[in-house]
Amino acid sequence: MPKEIPVNTLLGWYEQMNTIRAFEESAIELFAKGLITGSTHPSIGQEGIAVGTCAALRPSDLILATYRGHGECLAKGADPKALMAELLSRSTGCCKGKGGSMHLCDVSHGVLGTNAIVAAHIPIAAGVALSSMIRKTGQVTVCFFGDGATCEGEFFETLNMAQLWKVPLVLICENNGYAISVPIAKSQSTPDIADRAKGFGMRNAIVDGNDVLAVYRAVSEAAELARGGDGPTLIECKTVRWERHSAFSAGRYDDPEERQRWRKTDPIPRFRQSLLQSGATEQQLAGKEASAKTVIQEAVDFAIASPSPTEESLRQNVYAE
Amino acid sequence: MRQLTMSQAINEALREEMRRQPNLIHLGQDIGPYGGTFGVTKGLYEEFGQERIRDGPLCESATMGFSIGAAIHGMRVIVELEFIDFAGVAMDQIVNQAAKMHYFFGGQLTVPLVIRAPIVSRMGMGAQHSQSLEAWFMHIPGLKIAIPSNAYDAKGLMKTALADSNPVVFIENAKLYPTKADVPEEQYWVPFGQARIVRPGKDLTIVAISGAMPDALAAVDRLSKEGISAELIDPRTLSPLDDHTIVESVKKTGRLLITHDAYRTCGVGAEIGQRVSEQAFDYLDAPIMRVTGLDVHVPSGNLHPAVVPNSQQIIDASLKMCGKQHAMYS
């Protein structure tokens, strides 16, 4: 455990991880009840990556993420009420109900959008970083994506251009082992996705994505280098996707033994254990767990009570004024 | 008044706005010291440097993505697709990203992006470098489309595009790059959604788009010798489309012919014709006609004219519509 991080800060991370877990559990439940339509993609089991990464960033830094991006938005500071209302397509949602679960955005907290076309946001994130570089804003941009995205051409194109232009970008690959139903053994030509950066002369690292502190350390280093003009880094966070690809997907794709092993890697109890060892009390931890549940219950209540957007609002924002 | 080519006029608009807007950059391939495949960015690299006139790798998709990213984060971006045909490689970024971000993020992000897309029709470059693909973009909400047919409009529309907060597909016709027109020294802006009546007339309305304009002009001149007064309209932008000017013209003439180089099926002509049919059906004295490119891939070399319209076809169709198909004509 890094000594320089006060226990109170770490307790804050613990609460965030619990908040994300509770948010995703609620989303699955609301989908089953028909209150969320379309689809929703839970990030249960991957909370350590969202929280460890965003903890390493400044408030002015920027993130872009995927349709499995609820956790990253929460970790970057977006309001759970506005996010939950967006999942339910309500007018009080962060995108006025027009984006839904897969298209979240909160510019005021540096969330420049979650995206539902796999890998398309990777060059966009690099372009955001290019703008910060040219305008000398001192901001770092983080792009989250899954292992599936690393098979798309835009991932490779961006590795080349981002490294060529040395943009202040941190690429976070959340390798959760599956692209919908296809395991990485059937989709990746090499065991480690991080290796792909080597062909472009880009720094890279592999971390245990279920260890929030390991993620924090790796991203802190990469963000500092990016901020200092030393260009991008690709960080592969090995993790596990506990749930189905989406609430919409039918069937399971993994074997029960594998699932038993996953339980042992759960980033939340792991972090809990390490917090107890470093002096946090059982009472403090229970307090954070309860508070996370309350925050999410309030978000759910708020979303359910919110109105749908008006027809007029649905026709607005096609073009900017 | 001084005359400029369309290529010089676009160059001048880019230069003026690069000087005026410090956060304006241009991305693409071959736009730097080379000056652009068709010479449109000549001299810009020398004046604004490589930070702002940013030659990049040959990858349309990521280049478009980078452009969108910079545009949502405080910059205005021009990006060139050397040929409009290459838009296919970048289409997801244009259609699923640039066009939609303002909408599905509830208006939080804007994408001030100008996509320069040359049509290289009738220059003999074959099936993958010669298409007129404006209809692809017109189908998508959230995009604007400027498609000038002369130097004056090209400069004024580019100035407007570079003041707009939306993604604009700016379609330049390479065949028209060397054509000259009067272009004032002082700045001016041509508004989007305002068609131009190129020639006033009373018997027939002809709407001509981009590369079809020179043949349409020639046809109108010859029709006047046959005693037919055709009103020629250039829509100048397709999104927004100035239905009003076209509909009012048809109410006066009772006849509409649309001509473009693009494929016929689901081409812009079909959309314009349908809108007029919905808004001015009772005024029509003849079926709405199209003189367009054939639904055939563009053959190579000097064979292209076989599949795109010419002035004779426009004249023949016009005479038929006006009940003069048997007129003595050569």
B51 is catalytic: no
Q: In chain A, what residues touch B51 (CB-CB under 8 Å)? A: 134
Q: Report whether pLDDT(B326) > 70.
A: no
B178-182, long-range: CB < 8 A, 24+ apart: B178/B5, B178/B6, B178/B7, B179/B5, B179/B6, B179/B150, B179/B151, B179/B214, B180/B3, B180/B4, B180/B5, B180/B151, B181/B3, B181/B4, B181/B6, B181/B9, B181/B150, B181/B151, B181/B152, B182/B1, B182/B2, B182/B3, B182/B152
pLDDT over 70 at A252, yes or no:
no
Pairwise CB contact (< 8 Å): B103 & A98: yes
Question: Is residue B301 within 8 Å of residue B130, measured between CB atoms?
Answer: no
Phi, psi of B292 (to 5 degrees): -135, 175
From the list B26, B102, B129, B260, the catalytic residue is B129
| Structure confidence at residue B324 as a pLDDT band (50, 70, 90) | confident
Residue B62 is nearest to which of A103, A113, A158, comparing CB atoms? A158
The answer, yes or no, to whether residue B330 has pLDDT greater than 50, is: no
**pLDDT tens string B91-106:** 999 999 999 999 999 9
Q: Which of B60, B134, B172, B231 is flagged as catalytic?
A: B60
**pLDDT band, very low/low/confident/very high, at A4 (cuts 50, 70, 90):** confident
Mean pLDDT for chain B overall: 96
Q: Taking 90 as the threshold, does the pLDDT of residue A261 lie above it?
A: no
pLDDT at B310 over 50: yes
Whether the complex's predicted ipTM is more than 0.90 is answered with yes
Indicate the SS3 state at residue B118.
Answer: strand
| Chosen from A131, A133, A139, A152 to mutate, greatest number of chain B CBs within 10 A | A131
- Distance from the Cα of A282 to chain B's closest Cα (Å) equals 41
If you average pLDDT over residues B147-154, what whole number do you get? 98
**Which pLDDT does position A18 carry in this prediction?**
98
Which of B24, B48, B64, B66 to substitute to test the interface with A, most A CBs within 10 Å? B66
Whether residue A255 has pLDDT greater than 80: no
What are the boundaries of each domain within chain A? 7-300
For the cut 60, the answer to whether the pLDDT of residue B278 exceeds it is yes
Cβ <8 Å between B108 and A135: no
Nearest CB among A95, A115, A128 relative to B73 is that of A128
CA distance A262 to A105: 31
| Domains along chain B with CATH numbers | 3-182 (3.40.50.970), 196-321 (3.40.50.920)
Question: Does residue A70 carry a pLDDT above 80?
Answer: yes
Nearest-Cα residue of chain B relative to residue A156: B62
Which whole number is the average pLDDT over A165-175? Answer: 98
B60 in active site: yes
Contact B69 A98 (CB under 8 A): no
DSSP code for B157:
H
Angle at A71 between CA A65 and CA A77, to 5 degrees: 90
Q: Say yes or no for a CB contact (<8 Å) between A154 and B61.
A: yes
Does B176 score more than 70 pLDDT? yes
Judge whether B216 and B310 are in contact, CB under 8 Å. Answer: no
Type of residue found at B182: D
Q: Is B128 helix (H, G, I), strand (E, B) or coil?
A: coil
Contact A126 B62 (CB under 8 A): yes
Question: What's the rounded mean pLDDT across residues B172-189?
Answer: 97
Residue A128: its chain B contacts at CB < 8 A?
69-70, 72-73
Q: With bands split at pLDDT 50, 70 and 90, how would you rate the model's confidence at B55? A: very high
Is residue A288's pLDDT more than 60?
A: yes
pLDDT band with cut points at 50, 70 and 90 for residue B60: very high
The C-alpha angle with vertex A162 and arms to A156 and A166, in degrees rounded to 5, equals 150
pLDDT by residue (tens digit) across A79-94?
999 999 999 999 999 9
Using 50, 70 and 90 to split pLDDT, how confident is the model at A151?
very high
Quick one: fold of A7-300?
A: Rossmann fold (3.40.50)
| Res. B138 pLDDT band, cuts 50 70 90 | very high
CA distance A104 to chain B (A): 7
Cross-chain CB nearest to A105 (options B70, B93, B109): B109
A99-123 average pLDDT score: 97
CB-based contact A95 B72, cutoff 8 Å? no
AA letter at B101: M
Q: Give the nearest partner residue to A123 out of B66, B106, B144, using CB atoms.
A: B66
| pLDDT score recorded for residue A162 | 98
Could you report the per-residue pLDDT of A189-217, keeping only the tens digit for each?
Answer: 999 999 999 999 999 999 999 999 999 99
| pLDDT value at residue A254 | 64
- Alpha-carbon span B20 to B17, nearest angstrom: 5
Percent of chain B with pLDDT over 90: 95
DSSP structure string for A229-264: T---EEEEEE----S-SSTT--S--S-HHHHHHHHH
Confidence of residue A268 (pLDDT cuts 50, 70, 90): very high
For residue A251, the model assigns a pLDDT of 59
SS3 state of residue B243: helix
What is the percentage of chain A residues whose pLDDT exceeds 70? 97
Interface probe for A, chosen from B61, B79, B95, B104 (most Cβ of A below 10 Å), is: B104
Share above pLDDT 70 across residues of chain B, in percent, rounded to a whole number = 98
What pTM did the predictor assign?
Answer: 0.96
Report the percent of chain A where pLDDT is more than 90: 86
Average pLDDT over residues A106-112: 98
- The predicted pLDDT at position A253 comes to 63
* Residue A83 CB burial class (10 angstroms; 0-12, 13-18, ≥19): buried
Q: How far is B271 from chain A (nearest CA, A)?
A: 20
Residues of chain B in Cβ contact (below 8 Å) with chain A: 23, 25, 51-52, 56-57, 59, 61-75, 92-93, 96-97, 101-111, 141-142, 144, 165-166
Report chain A residues whose CB lies below 8 A from the CB of B106: 93-99, 105, 317
Whether residue A121 is predicted with pLDDT greater than 70 in this model: the reply is yes
What residues are paired with B259 via a beta bridge?
A: B208, B291
In degrees and rounded to multiples of 5, residue B205 shows phi and psi of -105, 130
Residue B322 has pLDDT above 60, yes or no: yes
pLDDT reading at A1 higher than 50: no
Residue B304 reports pLDDT greater than 90: no
Greater confidence (A293 vs A250) lies with A293
Q: Which of A98, A127, A318 sits opposite B70 (nearest CB)?
A: A127
CB B188 within 8 A of CB B281: no
What is the structure's pLDDT at A65? 98
Q: Measured between CA atoms, how close is A234 to chain B, in angstroms?
A: 17
Q: What is the pLDDT of residue B325?
A: 62
d(C-alpha A16, C-alpha A288), whole Å: 9
